[in-house]
Amino acid sequence: MKKYGHPKSARLCAKADFKAVLERKLFARNGLMTLYAKPNADKKTRFGVSVSSKIASAVGRNRLKRLSKEAFRLSRDDVRGNFDYLIIFSPLLSKSKSCDINKLGLKDVRDSFLELLGQVYKRIEK
């Protein structure tokens, strides 16, 4: 496997997987997104993204998914193993005048992801 690849085995795909991460209720939230985390029994780190149709058109939703997957891929060294991670973009994002989805960049998404990751890890250590 390539160091920075994102194979299918590293993705949350099934509805049951998404539901299991959400039921664990270990999360951190900011104005851009909510990051959910759940320890898993496998030795793999898995990642999933959910963007509501209320936030943007299909083009905007796919852009947010691509940005978040790339942010996760580039942050692999900062992410702990044996966890399932799920990002859900905030529905308030579409209503916010200060945040335009089309102007949102990889740096913004990655910084937000790393900030939330730190908050989640603090909750895990408690």
Strands (E), 1-126: 27-29, 33-39, 46-50, 83-89
Q: Is the pLDDT of residue 111 over 50?
A: yes
List, for residues 31-79, the tens digit of each pLDDT value: 889 999 999 888 788 999 999 888 888 988 899 999 999 999 998 888 8
Sheet order of strands, 27-29 included: 27-29, 33-39, 83-89, 46-50
pLDDT in tens, 80-99: 888 999 999 977 766 665 56
Domains of the chain: 8-125 (3.30.230.10)
